[in-house]
Amino acid sequence: MDNNAQQNETIFQVKVASFNLFNYIEPPLAYYDFENIYSGEQWAKKQLWLANFLAENQPDIIGFQEVFSADALANQAREAGLEHFAVVDEPTIVDDFICRDPVVAIASKFAFEDVQAVDVDSDYAKALGLEESFKYSRKPLRVTVVLPDIGHCDIYVVHLKSKRASLDELPPAQSMTVKHSGKANFGELLGRNVLGQWASGIQRGTEAALLFHTMMLRRIETQNAMILLGDFNDSLSHQPLSLLLAQELRFEREGSGELASYPLSDSYQLYYQREAEVNAENISDENSMPSQRQATHYYGAQGNVLDYILLSQDFNPHFHTSTAEVTDYHTEDRHLINPQYARDSHSTDHAPVLCTIHSRR
């Protein structure tokens, strides 16, 4: 066996994924309303869809969103070989069986050296003019694992605030009906809806900014590699979430060359950048490059990318001390673009995303 073959055999590979499960809840619990209880058959179909996904894609680390029944998910993950499971919060239960406020979780083939809830930094929240009661809409979690060839890695799982209009915080409506007609005042409804959407956007953007700052402080302290998995509920091309991929300081400072080790990169972009470089001299492979990124969620006919895997510079081959690179990226969207009722009726309304990472030697 030659040296190259020996080297290829020892290269480390890890596959990471992010999966919004869409109301993963074991009966007789209900999600949001007393009528939303899966039958035994429906729950079995939902579990089977997840089991098939895990068996077909074989992720080594997977972050979950919309988890109501953490114990059931932990058992299902272990059956798929993901022996290590963590959750740092629990849903709200009303009237003994109606559940709200689903949580995030993570399952892994690698042991957790540390598991932490990511809380709001109260000092910075106060400096931003936020109320003392401000908190993440869903509490993020962070685990630390040791990956061969890569070392300590902090993995974050998030589910940022949705675009659904937040109306609970608004003052009571002044006049929801037109006098004597009994019809809804659509002008006021529209105005309140815009205010509610703006409130959701403020919450989502603030969550992203506070999380990013927390990650940077942790990076300074440990120099651990970082992976951020989650449903961001918006495109990274939109403000303010685009700040998660900030690459430069607004004002240049002396010694800012050290900044290069801190930014995050989109694993999708890293993968197709690598593919473009590999195939630069192979014209026949140009058609293999996607013309448009696959959506991970559809609102009506409009597709959007809401689910992401972001990586620290340790996974960017253009960074001089990187230890790994993205060698594959996949969006599991068959159930969204070509659904079959028998197979997909109780799957999820999101497309899970996965990327494969190889160590570099």
Write a three-state SS string for 245-314. HCCCCCCCCCCHHHHHHCCEEEHHHHHHHHHHHHCCCCHHHHHHCCCCCCCCEEECCEEECCEEEEEEHH
For residue 295, what is the domain's CATH number?
3.60.10.10
Q: Is residue 313 part of a domain?
A: yes
- 38-52, 186-200, 275-289, range with the lowest pLDDT: 275-289
Q: Which domain holds residue 92?
A: 13-163+201-359
* Contact present, 200 and 170 (Cβ < 8 Å): no
Across the range 229-253, mean pLDDT stands at 87
Cα gap 203→232, rounded to integer Å:
12
Q: Is residue 80 part of a domain?
A: yes
Q: Is residue 262 part of a domain?
A: yes
Q: Is residue 254 part of a domain?
A: yes
Question: In angstroms, what CA-CA distances link 187 with 170, 173, 175, 194, 265?
Answer: 16, 12, 10, 11, 42
Cα gap 311→268, rounded to integer Å:
10
For the cut 50, the answer to whether the pLDDT of residue 7 exceeds it is: no
Q: What is the pLDDT of residue 253?
A: 59
For the cut 70, the answer to whether the pLDDT of residue 187 exceeds it is: yes
For the cut 60, the answer to whether the pLDDT of residue 360 exceeds it is: yes
Q: What is the pLDDT of residue 5?
A: 46
Q: Is residue 170 part of a domain?
A: no
Q: What is the pLDDT of residue 1?
A: 42
Q: Is residue 186 part of a domain?
A: no
- 20-24, 243-247, 313-317, 340-344, range with the lowest pLDDT: 243-247
Q: Is residue 336 part of a domain?
A: yes
Q: What is the pLDDT of residue 243?
A: 92
Return mean pLDDT, the chain. 90
**Which of the four pLDDT bands, split at 50, 70 and 90, describes residue 164?**
confident
Q: Is residue 143 part of a domain?
A: yes
Number of domains in the chain: 1
Q: What is the pLDDT of residue 134?
A: 93
Q: What is the pLDDT of residue 198?
A: 87
